[in-house]
Amino acid sequence: MKERYKLLIIVALFAAAYFVPWNSEPIRRSGLEAFMMLREYAREHVLTCLIPAFFIAGAISVFVSQASVLKYFGAQAKKFLSYSVASVSGAVLAVCSCTVLPLFAGIYSRGAGIGPATAFLYSGPAINVLAIVLTARILGWELGLARAVGAVVFAVITGLLMALIFRKDDAARAAGQVYLPEDSASGRSLGQESLFMLTLVLILVFAAWARPVDGEAGLWAMIFSIKWLVTAVLLLALTLMLKAWFSREERVEWVESTWGFMKQILPLLGAGVLVAGFMLGRPGHPALIPDEWVSSSLGGNSLGANLFASVAGALMYFATLTEIPILQGLLGAGMGKGPALALLLAGPALSLPNMLVIGGVMGWKKTAVFSGIIVVMSTIAGLLYGNFFV
């Protein structure tokens, strides 16, 4: 970190300590909410979601051939193949807007084109099969169907627009990759490497398997009851693979790459969670911005209501599935159906912590354009949907 940035951080902390009226009840409550949200995130998401995701990102960076990444996600890859793979990835991963970040950083650092990479970045948290099913079940089939169709379409359009806007940057990256040396042979078969990556993904999926809705039975509840047993078996299988198929140098390189992603992402993520908690609080716990302001601004189907829902959703952090009970309460308080869809399309895929980390990975200009595209499309989708379902 450059010295001037360290100085700015010190000055900002001093100014906050000196000028912020911490003896004010709303400020103290907001400060408590910020740390309560950080604690909730640390307890519920870091070990089961983020840590497996970091190790997957490290494995992508070290073990996945750059030629393979460029074949499916590179700027010169066939668009139908790359966007098809990227836009449906969320159906497999079912991760939140922050857990997808290490995976995005991994494929982007290996040379993925900005279009397929951002399509993957959006689709990871947005196209969550369970979330879509619960949306249809709890909030109505119309909203569930609109969310599913909108998420897939958004992933493709967002990626295509990013590729068009930043085509010169992609061309420059592709030109630089021509001179990279060939990856050395690992001695492992494609099947072995595929099984290794699949095991890592399954560990993420089962470790992060969400608790079923109260009273819900069936396959989802059954899998949740044995999630840790399945995860333990997968971890044992992973250990055997690492010992049999990978050298000590490769294992060390994997851990170092994983640590590199953690150093890059975790500080920004923690700062973003603190800011989001201070401003907006946890569901049902008011912070600096009162809940009444949010609910009163989301009634009807006006342009302002849909835009406000998109922006609020883009800034708030939603853990996987938490957007559904939040919206259930907001709809009961008079929120329009159009703004509800706008929030569903913008919220799970974006958050303030998410934006801060994306900015560190691909630059603030690309991050601003990516976020703006999603906010604008979510607003338009909300307006259209609200006109059909009043």
Could you report the per-residue pLDDT of 316-350, keeping only the tens digit for each?
A: 777 656 677 677 767 766 778 899 899 989 987 88
**Residue 210 — φ and ψ, nearest 5°?**
-75, 150
As a whole number of angstroms, the distance between CA 248 and CA 242 comes to 9
Q: Which residues contact 109 (CB under 8 A, 6 or more apart)?
A: 61, 361
Residue 371 pLDDT? 93
pTM exceeds 0.85 for this model: no
Distance CA 284, CA 40 (A): 14
- What's the confidence (pLDDT) of residue 57? 74
User: Does 67 map to a domain?
Assistant: yes
Domain encompassing residue 330? 37-175+246-388
Residue type, 128: N
Q: Write out pLDDT tens, residues 17-26.
A: 888 888 888 8
Give the CA count within 13 Å in the CB-facing half-sphere of 250: 18
Does residue 1 belong to any structural domain of this protein? no
Joined together, the tokens standing for residue 272 give 């973003």
Q: Is 234 within the bounds of a domain?
A: no
pLDDT in tens, 49-92: 778 878 887 887 777 665 665 566 766 667 777 778 777 765 55
Res 54: pLDDT? 81
Residue 46 to residue 123: CA distance in whole angstroms: 21
Residue 382 within a domain: yes
In sequence order, the 6+-apart residues with CB closer than 8 A to the CB of 88 are: 123, 127, 152
Whole-angstrom distance, CA of residue 21 vs CA of residue 27: 7
Tell me, what's the pLDDT at 205? 80
* Residue 351 covered by a domain: yes
Local structure of 363: helix, strand or coil = coil
Instruction: Pick the closest to residue 150 from 381, 390, 383, 384 (CA basis).
Output: 381
Number of structural domains found in the chain? 1
In a domain, 6, yes or no: no
Per-residue pLDDT, 373: 95
Domain assignment present for residue 282? The answer is yes
- Check residue 215 and give its pLDDT: 67
- 313 within a domain of the structure (yes/no): yes
Q: CB neighbours of 49 closer than 8 A, spacing ≥ 6? A: 95, 96, 98, 99, 204, 207, 208
| 66, containing H or E segment | helix 66-73
Residue 276 has pLDDT above 60, yes or no: yes
